Copies of this chain bind each other. A is one copy, B any other.
Amino acid sequence: MAERSTLSIDVMGGDNAPGMVIEGISIAAEWFTDVDFLLFGDEAQIAPLLRNHTELTSRCQIRHTDEVVSNDAKPGIALRSGRNSSMRLAINSVHNGEATGIVSAGNTGALMAMAKFVLKTLPGISRPAMASCFPTQTGSTVMLDLGANVNCDASNLVQFAVMGEVFARNVLHIESPSVGILNIGAEVLKGNEAVKQAAQILNESDLPIDFYGFVEGTDLGLGTVDVMVTDGFTGNVALKTAEGIAKMFGHYLKQSLTSSFMSKLGALLAISALNKFKDRFDPRHYNGAMFLGLNGICVKSHGGTDALGFAHAVKVAIELTTSGVNESIKADFAKIHDVTPTDKQSTSEDEDESS
């Protein structure tokens, strides 16, 4: 019998928390029968919700707190004044070893700041990155960073490359994942200094990485590489552009297929195929962005998701735990230490809680 593991949940984060969160845990609990949950939040709200899920109660422990990080709190403020928030206490429980990971649908900036402050980064990593998987024409691609680091130098990008590669190998089970750095068309100009230097480091290193070279925005949809590395500004824009285009496409497709009697009849006949098509791009299936590079598992769920989406974020946290991704990142960074200029590891100087 597999060993049981424990996951901490910030029950109060998310647009429809705590109801949506409890429903989401209930779905994930069915998928993963060997995981228990620590629920951080308002007991008066959580307890009645759990009563609808008697199968869950034996696997959940409520840790009461009244405090919640608001969605519009700035990361620095949340860090200093949110010491007893459900988010912070949930992160603390990972640091204390009570849980292997934490999932929150709350304020992204606050989550990142708190997780970085409490958990610290893995040895050799100066900045954690936000990563997520995308559907592509050939399967899926991991992209990082998605918004945690606005300005990145070459050494950050190289670290993202290593972390992304380890993730693709250990969690997605791709034997030798290809890694590309996102750049603009070589025909126009050759990109900024950071991407050029990062590519040079990866080309010249003897890291066990299948470095593809530069890729362009088009390659995200095409699935040209397994891991796409970029700075947080560009990655965030690319991610959200893709979301917006997918929405636009869906909007016009629906409009077209309801525009006449014939098209409606056609859509009805093709309904099963169209539903499968829709399912493939269901953003709930891709919910759960990972903060890679932290000394502990931390997953951010989309704030506006529903129970199924939250369950997928929980799934991501569980897969990260069972795959031992952090151990592999540590091992690879022991090797990489020679090829990349080490800048200092993240500690409390980044966000000084007492300032």
Number of copies of this chain that the complex holds: 2
Residues 250 to 277 of chain A near chain B (Cβ within 8 Å): 251-253, 256-257, 259-260, 262-263, 265-274, 276-277
Contact with B along A129-167 (1 / 0, CB 8 A): 000000111000000000110110000000000000000
In the complex, A19 has a CB within 8 A of chain B: no
A186 CB to nearest B CB, Å: 9
Please tell me which one of the listed residues B216, B240, B277 contacts residue A252 in the complex, with CB atoms under 8 A apart: B277
Contact with B along A225-237 (1 / 0, CB 8 A): 0000010111011
Chain B contacts for A93, CB-based, 8 A: none
In the complex, A16 has a CB within 8 A of chain B: no
Chain B contacts for A251, CB-based, 8 A: 137
Kindly report which residue of chain B lies nearest to residue A277, judged by CB atoms.
B256
For the complex, give the distance between the alpha carbons of A172 and B106 in Å: 41
- Scoring A75, A222, A240 by chain B CB atoms within 10 A of each residue's CB, the highest score goes to A240
Is the CB–CB distance between A247 and B234 below 8 Å?
A: no
In the complex, A54 has a CB within 8 A of chain B: no
Chain B contacts for A216, CB-based, 8 A: 236-237, 240
In the complex, A338 has a CB within 8 A of chain B: no
Q: A234-B237, A237-B182, A256-B277 are in contact. Are A217 and B189 (CB under 8 A)?
A: no
In the complex, A220 has a CB within 8 A of chain B: yes
Q: A221-B241, A237-B237 are in contact. List 18 more A-B contacts (CB 8 A).
A: A107-B187, A108-B187, A108-B188, A137-B251, A150-B184, A185-B236, A188-B232, A217-B237, A217-B238, A217-B241, A217-B243, A221-B249, A234-B237, A245-B246, A249-B281, A253-B253, A253-B277, A266-B273
